[in-house]
Amino acid sequence: MKIGITGSGGFIGRNLSALLKSKGYEVFGYDRVDGIDISVPGFVEDGVKLDVMVHLAGNTFIPDSFNKPFDFFKNNIDSTLSVLEYCRLNNCKIIFSSTYLYGNPLYLPIDEKHPVLPHSPYTQSKKVSEDLILSYARDFGVESVILRLFNLYGAGQKGDFLIPTIIRQLENKVVSLKDPAPKRDFINVEDVCRAFASAIENSFEQPEIFNIGYGESYSIGNLIDIINRNLPHPVKTEFSNERRPNEIMDVVADTSKANKLLNWKPEISLEDGIKQILANHE
């Protein structure tokens, strides 16, 4: 089976490529760092007939989406359309990396039937992309799977996401953060990659959407406690107690649908995932 991965050089892409190659799949990577413009149809090499396209590429850092909304919408939506056109013309399955779209939850844990309430330009761009995928499934029969990832983390994650930000500050012996109260459902990149592999290996007659989370929530304060338990000497933490406007205070994924239809369950606890990150950081 031939698998294409857009955003193959990114955090999920690198890990997923390694997993799929270990399973014997032929993997084709497409990433802008290699000069490939995924937003333009025709980015797949002539003569390559992919069976599945895993669409990971896109702008992902939420604060930047408020500063550069045009770039976020154009890049994320155009790249999805380009991938869908390839899938339509080549009878190729699409597996899309979406995100948490539920806003302030009406109930916990959150299942896939929960109302979708995008709360940023980034999440809105993912919602539009999901709608395009569902349209191509309806109108052209493109087999489609959408994975809504909760709070992704893992060894090798870079950028200004929460856990890398904390890890970078450990050398200062003081970690400065804002609000310790918000709770998040952290899901390890290795578990996420197994979910993508399961989506590749299972067939569906209609488009399917799956929540991919661990199923438990931890506050930022809890996270600091876990990190300190696994350090030789605990670090001091300073909280400014700033709360972001419209902050979502608690998030827990209901993953029972993925358990049932993908035969997937998360395996890596937050504590074990933090131990792995700290071991690689030393």
Q: Which of the pair, 282 or 168, is modelled with greater confidence?
A: 168
Report the predicted TM-score, pTM, of the whole model to 2 decimal places: 0.95
Q: In whole angstroms, what is the distance from residue 32 CA to residue 10 CA?
A: 10
Residues 14-52 pLDDT 10s = 999 999 999 999 999 999 999 999 999 999 999 999 999
| 82 pLDDT higher than 80 | yes
Domain ranges of the chain: 2-153+186-215+254-267
Q: Which residue has the tokens 């994320």?
A: 76
Q: Which of the pair, 47 or 260, is modelled with greater confidence?
A: 260
Joined together, the tokens standing for residue 201 give 């290996």
| 95 pLDDT higher than 70 | yes
Q: In whole angstroms, what is the distance from residue 95 CA to residue 28 CA?
A: 15
pLDDT reported for residue 282: 62
| 61 pLDDT higher than 90 | no
Residues 96-128 pLDDT 10s = 999 999 999 999 999 999 999 998 899 999 999
| 64 pLDDT higher than 90 | no
CATH assignment of 2-153+186-215+254-267, among 1.25.50.20, 3.40.50.150, 3.40.50.720, 3.40.50.10470: 3.40.50.720
Arithmetic mean of pLDDT, 62-70: 83
pLDDT reported for residue 11: 96
| 66 pLDDT higher than 90 | no
Q: In whole angstroms, what is the distance from residue 246 CA to residue 249 CA?
A: 9
| 60 pLDDT higher than 90 | no
Percent with pLDDT over 90 in the chain: 87
pLDDT reported for residue 160: 85
Of residues 253, 245, 178, the one with CA closest to residue 214: 253
Q: Give the confidence band of 58 by pLDDT, cuts at 50, 70, 90.
A: confident
Q: Give the confidence band of 247 by pLDDT, cuts at 50, 70, 90.
A: confident
Average pLDDT, the chain: 95
Arithmetic mean of pLDDT, 156-184: 92
- Phi-psi bin for 232: left (phi > 0), alpha (psi -120 to 50), beta? alpha
